[in-house]
Amino acid sequence: MTVSRTLTGKHALVTGGGTGIGLAVARALAAQGAQVTITGRRAEVLESVAGENLHAAAMDVTDEAQLKDTISAAVEQRGPVQICIANAGIAEGRALHKTDMEFWRRTMATNLDGAFLTIRESLTSMHQADWGRVIAISSIAGLKGLKGAAAYTASKHGMIGLIRALSEDYLGTPFTFNAVCPGYVDTEIISRNVTSIQERAGISADDARALMVDANKHKRLIHPNEVAQTVLWLCGPGSESINGQAIEIAGGQF
């Protein structure tokens, strides 16, 4: 029996593709036949997950020159980027009065500037293919204020603004631009947040984790594959009319 793989022949770029949500997305795209370039700062992490259809390329999304070089090398090897997943991000909650310029700039540089540069550089090559899907991994914090996380919330709102503007710029073309907005997903970011909430609030790790479970309306953490399946749908046949949307994956927050 021939298994139809809907993304065969397409080149996908997934920033932060070596871990968590990015890795789940990259694997889902690769399973559908896409050649997937996965990036992140830690080469050893990328190499440990690289394999069939998954190609490691270390880069820091905050370094414009490195990002340009890495994407153009990937384009040379695998053709124009047709699927761009702007996923690399950092998530640290910090009260505004403790948010210094260094922390604010680091959050913006990674989450928002990183998405902007990734999408801009991918689009240059996407024009050659005359077909493209751009998806930003924003957050529920892109749709509503997240208590104690002003910088993160602002950066994730900014990603949705970027996507909405681009969907207007490219209206009526074979390119679509969407954001997905997960609630708490079970990844390394959650483990790091558990530790930081635990330290800040002086509560146990179990209680800190329970706070996050409780914030998702269906009272469980989301699996990275749930986000990956939504992204896959946005890249596959049948979702051509979905454009400029910010799709909540959080058990029904609104």
Return residues touching ligand NDP (CB under 6 A): 15-16, 18-22, 40-42, 45, 60-62, 87-91, 110, 137, 139, 182, 184-185, 187-190
Closer to ligand NDP by Cβ: residue 7 or 221: 221
Residue 65: CB minimum distance to ligand NDP, A: 13
Minimal distance, residue 120 CB to ligand NDP, in Å? 16
- DSSP three-state, residue 193: helix
Question: Coil, strand or helix: which one is 178?
Answer: strand
Active site residue 152: yes
Q: Give whichever of 152 and 175 is closer to ligand NDP, judged by the CB atom.
A: 152
What SS3 state is found at 135?
strand
Region for residue 240 given its phi and psi (left: phi exceeds 0; alpha: psi -120 to 50; beta: otherwise): alpha
The CB-of-165 to ligand NDP minimum distance in angstroms stands at: 19
In angstroms, the CA 9 to CA 213 distance is: 39
Give least dist CB 16 to ligand NDP, A.
3
Alpha-carbon distance of 124 to 203, in angstroms, equals: 48
Task: Specify the residue, 73 or 171, whose C-beta has the smaller distance to ligand NDP.
Answer: 73
246 close to 142: Cβ distance less than 8 angstroms: yes
Residue of 15, 36, 150, 152 marked catalytic:
152
Q: 50 or 129: whose CB is closer to ligand NDP?
A: 50
Residue 77 neighbours by CB distance under 10 Å: 12
- The letter for the amino acid at 147 is K
- Furthest-apart CA atoms within the chain: distance in Å: 61
What residues are labeled active site?
152
